[in-house]
Chains A and B, each alone.
Chain A
Amino acid sequence: MNMLHTVSKSPFGHTALETCLRLARKGASILLIEDAVYAALRQTTIADKITTAMKELSVYALEPDLRARGFGQGQVIDGVKLIDYDGFVDLVVEHQSVQAWF
């Protein structure tokens, strides 16, 4: 079973996402929550990193956190899967361990 990495800080002011991407191994999943949902948006300076990461990793974003910040499916990078809290629980159950990057 693979690891789940949760990231909760904006990629523009913190290294949490960058470090996560450096350490996550092929087959792992990354879930963007809280201020990290900004990393799921298209046309940012981060978007290319997410697109590249998705060749080896699954990337999810917590939709309630995205919506709270004024964004939705229409602004999200293709391939990033939006999930709700039930989906969050499912991800935790489906993975062997969880590493929180904050």
Chain B
Amino acid sequence: MSANPDIALPNKRAKKFMLVNRRPPHGSIYAQEALEVALIAGAFDQDVSLAFIDDGVYQLVVGQDTQGTDSKNFSRTFRALEDFGISKLYVERESLQARGLDAADLVVAAQAVSAQALGELMARQDVLLSF
């Protein structure tokens, strides 16, 4: 997808933010709040990445249908992140495997990475926000 030229410019004041998602999507407000923060940080041209660990991987499961629960199906919003300059989505492979899932079960092309690789990515962030 062609990025907005404003977004493509390097932002010298950008910090590396990682949003660490460990909660499933509909039982609490955490997941939706994380998505809001991602969009805001992206709008401010920050270097944003999202990590999905433990039950957080369920946020990305394809085919969520909330019509019967009166809650918002925000899973489609993950596909819009790229328009906000956010294309770094990481899913911990161990968490996927523990839940019988793989990359094909997800709404977006998130990168499945090992716990070790994700730990190293975390260690390179300026700011970590947990949800």
Give chain A's interface residues, CB within 8 Å of chain B: 2-3, 15, 19, 22-25, 28, 96-102
B34 at the interface (CB under 8 A from A): no
B130 / chain A contacts, CB cutoff of 8 Å? 99-102
Give chain B's interface residues, CB within 8 Å of chain A: 20, 22, 53-54, 92, 94, 115-116, 118-120, 122-123, 125-128, 130
Q: Identify B123's interface contact among A3, A19, A100, CB under 8 A.
A: A3
Whose C-beta in chain A lies nearest to the C-beta of B125? A97
CA distance A15 to B126 in the complex (A): 25
Output the least CB separation between B131 and chain A (Å).
10
Output the least CB separation between A23 and chain B (Å).
4
Q: A23-B115, A25-B120, A97-B128 are in contact. List 20 more A-B contacts (CB 8 A).
A: A2-B123, A3-B122, A19-B53, A22-B115, A23-B53, A23-B92, A23-B119, A23-B122, A24-B119, A25-B119, A25-B122, A25-B123, A98-B128, A99-B20, A99-B122, A99-B128, A99-B130, A100-B128, A101-B22, A101-B130
